[in-house]
Structure 1
Amino acid sequence: MKKRIILVISTLILLAAVPVMGAEQLKLMLDWFPNVDHLPIYLAQESGYFKDQGLTVEIITPSETSDGLKLAAAGQVDLAVSYQPQTIIAADQGLDLKAVAPLVIHPLTTLLFLDKTIKTPADLSGKNIGYTVPGLMDVLLHAFANLNGVKNYTPINVGFTILPALVSGKVDAVMGPFKTYETVVMKQQGYTARFFELENNGIPDYEELIFVAGSKTLAKKEAAIHKFTKAIQLAMAQLETDPTTALKLYLKAVPEADANVETAAFELTRPYFAGQNSHDPAKWQAFADFALTYGLIKNHVDTAGLIHTWHE
């Protein structure tokens, strides 16, 4: 009798330790450390939307922001969170990728500064201007300067040491910080951040964050990836109707997050989350054409072939 009880208990423990039978597993790599931009992903996990779709999703944090695209193209992860501009650049460089769904549908990236005497972009003429990501933010800075009459500035790579670079006077502004996140962190530390929004100063509107898959992975796992996008849309709907619960579930899933920062950032980010499962082809092509003009890419990219369209 005792052996039978032990066998039953052992079986129950084993069953609890393995994925739900029949569930398809997907590996998702984030673009950076977990933060409120990823809230719909963790909400889908915590609310059981992935499970309801017959999926188990492993969420992985990268070492570098570019890791996800490379690993997705190589089929080493099934999905990656990335950015529309980087995805267009990667396609120009020959990576075989497909954008499968939007996450944040407008730019969060800004040209940020602390100096309250700066009123217009032209006031940055002759100043030191930092940038965060070489090969992207320095080129966007160049385009922004050309479009807005910023003359004789000095570009400086500050990486992600944004606030120290500004406070020390090393730079007068930085291209790359998010208006929904770095501004909150700075406020918490006693600084009032000001910024110019890219899309209101000549840079075409674009989707800040998207989900990307390698083309071969998408062909092999199209049904599962479609289910993933449906689960994300359910999470989007929940955060729209019940943001308080959505935030609580996110903070439960990411206990290491600073609740004060994440709460304030969530309120700023909420309007930018995608409300649909599809990309805007015109927006994509407009940015790709802009990227070619200003040297982000070397060749014309037909973004129609880069976007995957779901047929519900």
Structure 2
Amino acid sequence: MNGTQKGNRKRIQWLAPIAALMLALTACSGGSGGGTTAGTGETGTSENNTETGQLRDVSVVLDWTPNTNHTGLYAAVDQGFYEKEGLNVSILQPGAGGADQMVASGEVPFGVSYQESVTQARVQGVPLVSIAAVIQHNTSGFAAPTDRNIKSPKDFEGKRYGGWGSPVEEAVMQSIMDQEGGDVSKVEKINMGDADFFTAVKRDIDFAWIFYAWTGIEAELRNEPIDMLYVKDYSDSLDYYTPVLVTNEKQISDDPELVRSFMKATAEGYQYAIEHPAEAADILIKAVPDLDPELVKASQEWLSPKYQDDAAQWGWQKPEVWQNYGKWMSSQNLLEGEFDSTKAFTNDYLPAAQ
């Protein structure tokens, strides 16, 4: 199983341990997320240095191994968009604690996360803030080889589901099965461990939760047809933002201009990937040569139009999306406190919002 496929499962899971986040915040109290220089822990100044020719070192940490969710970041580096803003951006893979912990604690100023993770963090007092939706609509869903005859959520009954045992899995499954009179207790749940989707469906399971842009496209390339049930098609509340770009409250308070500069260049990077999917795929392949070039190119072609989709601009986040998903999580007893959606996200640092 490649790292991206493992990341695709982990990103739906209760992705960052909230207790670990709180410990990190305690240990790093007083640390600034606003100007951490890549790999040094040093704090930079809050101004861009384009006039002096000096670039400010800034890091952004990914959620998992690089994939087409991240192409806009790599394009912004490759095309000089960050440099134009006076930034020297390093793209990092997460440490053992995960991207959320690194951003919330101030170890790095920016990272890739998910609405479900940010929502859970906020009710625990973890100061993550979403500053852009990478993809406008949820592209995840339950997938099965076509020979399993899973055409609707009710068909999950009597089948073997491969997952990791998180509460959100059963809650989502139950929500969409309830609409068709299905009974989630009749689904056999199996821990997939590190097995990838294609291995697991041949050996242990009938269906799993995937992101079509990667695993679904890979199924096409392997000529292994699947039936895909997108969760957003069964509930507006499940059409949440995944992934998102995040920072922390202290970063916004201490150095809003860095957030603004980073987001201006990042938006340009994703716009480049929207308008030039083939060239953007080549940028990602060049930056991460271990990736399968055929998969990257096909995935990028499929995903590029979905970055912005029907939004007025790339990155825009709608208040109702945050409100609806928070209410759904509360209704499923997945939150341990009150969720204030207005503090969980902001559009203020997107270029058109300046």
Do the two structures share a fold, i.e. TM-score over 0.5? yes
Q: Shift of residue 252 of structure 1?
A: 1.7
Give matches, 1:90-129, under 5 Å: 90-116=121-147, 117-129=149-161
Gapped regions of structure 2 (runs ≥ 5):
1-49
**Match for residue 86 of structure 2?**
54
Q: Where do 4+ consecutive residues of structure 1 move more than 6 Å?
A: none
Whether 1:81 and 2:115 are equivalent positions in the alignment is no
> Which AA in structure 2 matches 1:82?
S
**CA distance in structure 2 between the partners assigned to 1:279 and 1:147 by the alignment:** 27
Q: Shift of residue 45 of structure 1?
A: 0.4
Q: Shift of residue 278 of structure 1?
A: 3.1
Match of 2:216 among 165, 175, 183: 183
Show CA shifts across 1:208-240 (max 9, x none).
111111211222232112111111111222223
> Which AA in structure 2 matches 1:286?
N
Q: Secondary structure at the match of 2:83?
A: helix
Aligned CA RMSD, in angstroms, stands at 2.1
Q: Shift of residue 150 of structure 1?
A: 2.8
Q: Secondary structure at the match of 2:72?
A: helix
> Which AA in structure 2 matches 1:302?
D
Q: Secondary structure at the match of 2:134?
A: strand
Whether 1:233 and 2:262 are equivalent positions in the alignment is no
Q: Shift of residue 247 of structure 1?
A: 2.1
Q: Shift of residue 63 of structure 1?
A: 4.5
Q: Identity over aligned residues, as a percent?
A: 22
TM-score, scaled relative to structure 1: 0.86
**Match for residue 292 of structure 2?**
258
Show CA shifts across 1:98-136 (max 9, x none).
111121121121111114322221111122212257343
**CA distance in structure 2 between the partners assigned to 1:195 and 1:59 by the alignment:** 32
TM-score, scaled relative to structure 2: 0.76
Match of 1:137 among 145, 154, 169: 169
Show CA shifts across 1:51-70 (max 9, x none).
00111111111256x71111
Show CA shifts across 1:37-81 (max 9, x none).
1100000000000000111111111256x7111111111111110
**CA distance in structure 1 between the partners assigned to 2:193 and 2:118 by the alignment:** 20
Q: Shift of residue 241 of structure 1?
A: 2.7
Asked if the contact 1:103/1:211 (under 8 Å) is kept, the reply is yes
Asked if the contact 1:53/1:231 (under 8 Å) is kept, the reply is yes
Query: Which of the two has higher C-alpha Rg?
Result: 1
Asked if the contact 1:68/1:82 (under 8 Å) is kept, the reply is yes
Distance 1:184 1:241, change over 3 A: closer
> Which AA in structure 1 matches 2:316?
S
**CA distance in structure 1 between the partners assigned to 2:192 and 2:166 by the alignment:** 10
**CA distance in structure 2 between the partners assigned to 1:292 and 1:265 by the alignment:** 34
Q: Number of matched residues?
A: 291
Give matches, 1:159-238, under 5 Å: 159-161=193-195, 162-168=197-203, 170-175=204-209, 177-202=210-235, 203-238=237-272
Greater CA deviation, 245-254 or 211-220?
245-254
